[in-house]
Amino acid sequence: MDDHASWATGRLLLVAARLVEREWNAVLAERGLTHAGFLALHVLQDGPRTQRELAARTYVEEQTIRPVLDRLERDGHIARERDTADRRRVMVTRTDLGKRTYAEIMEGDPAERIIADRVEDPEALRAELIRLITGIRDR
């Protein structure tokens, strides 16, 4: 068995993230979503966004978000329409199905369930992750 205590912190973070991501992706797949699709639905809860805004708010490039939106639209989770104020822009909104699917996933937050029975103090872990992400992102 691996001696996890001897692992570098970076390796611990990467392995933990991959293991949690694998379980989280299984939850999303049950509803026909990918992680990127879920993030887009999350960002859209605040209202319509342009493709460029969605890419920025989900920390991906515009060309990366396009196929995600194509799939979400094909599956009925989002709708895209030309902006009436600027015909060059396409506005993306969640459909009723997208809202319902997002709400079902967030009901009882599956990520919390994945972590809750495996971590001694989930709230402390959450707080430290927020500090880590904020500290790195805001540098």
- Residue-wise pLDDT tens digits, 14-54: 998 898 888 888 889 988 999 899 999 999 999 999 999 99
- HSE of 53 in the Cβ direction (CA atoms, 13 Å)? 14
Please answer whether residues 24 and 110 qualify as being in contact, where contact means their C-beta atoms are separated by less than 8 angstroms: yes
Query: Treating both helix axes as pointing N-terminal to C-terminal, what angle do 35-43 and 9-29 enclose, rounded to 10 degrees?
Result: 80
Q: Above 70 in pLDDT, residue 85?
A: yes
Domain residue ranges of the chain, discontinuous segments joined by +: 7-107
Cβ 101 vs Cβ 61: under 8 Å: no
Does pLDDT of 60 surpass 80?
yes
Looking at per-residue pLDDT, the higher value among 113 and 75 belongs to: 75
For residue 110, what pLDDT is reported?
A: 76
Please check whether the domain covering 7-107 is classified as CATH 1.10.10.10: yes
